[in-house]
């Protein structure tokens, strides 16, 4: 089994999670671990990817890679290779519902469970934290509706048998 770092919130770009980010990297017990960033929940924001690469790549000395699923043709073999060759998987925040739907279409959900069982470290912030739990309360409707929206319960990967 692997290890999970579930970060409830904070801004990685403002260095609010830097002490946790360091612990994630240290837990790999490698000098330059390979970290895969999955920014599906943020619509694969280029700015978010840049911030991640700056923090985990430049500041923390990791070899970073990104799994893009939305606007790129990617094979199932490439998805599997990226996930299974990582030391650490980091899932970004954003729209949990959209992320989980996209993951199911690409079998990423099952691959992440397999990776966890193979000892790969799982981590993430906000939506990237909810996903490891059986379920969690998500603000996904706020990304989809103007004005009135409600928190919704989202099913996760159930690696942590509890509600986030």
d(CA 109, CA 106): 8
Query: Half-sphere exposure of 18 toward its Cβ, with a 13 Å CA cutoff?
Result: 11
Structure tokens given for 63: 């070899």
Structure tokens given for 72: 């790129």
- Lowest-pLDDT range of 44-48, 113-117, 151-155: 151-155
Residue 106 to residues 23, 26, 109: CA-CA distances in angstroms?
A: 30, 30, 8
The pLDDT tens digits for 91-138 are 999 899 899 999 999 999 999 999 999 999 999 999 999 999 998 887
- Lowest-pLDDT range of 68-77, 78-87, 98-107: 68-77
Structure tokens given for 31: 């000098």
Q: Residue 140 — φ and ψ, nearest 5°? A: -55, -35
């Amino acid at each position: 089994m692997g290890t999970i770092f579930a970060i409830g919130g904070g801004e990685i770009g403002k260095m609010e999670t830097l002490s946790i980010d360091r612990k994630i990297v240290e837990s790999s017990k490698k000098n330059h671990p390979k970290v895969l960033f999955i920014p599906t929940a943020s619509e694969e924001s280029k700015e978010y990817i840049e911030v991640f690469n700056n923090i985990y790549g430049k500041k923390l000395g990791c070899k970073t890679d990104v799994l893009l699923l939305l606007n790129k043709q990617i094979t199932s073999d490439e998805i599997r290779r990226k996930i299974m060759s990582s030391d650490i998987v980091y899932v970004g925040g954003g729209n949990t519902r959209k992320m989980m739907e996209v993951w199911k279409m690409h079998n990423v959900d099952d691959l992440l469970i397999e990776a966890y069982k193979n000892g790969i470290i799982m981590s993430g912030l906000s939506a990237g934290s909810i996903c490891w739990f059986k379920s969690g309360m998500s603000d996904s409707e706020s990304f989809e509706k103007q004005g009135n929206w409600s928190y919704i319960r989202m099913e996760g990967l159930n690696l942590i048998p509890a509600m986030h």
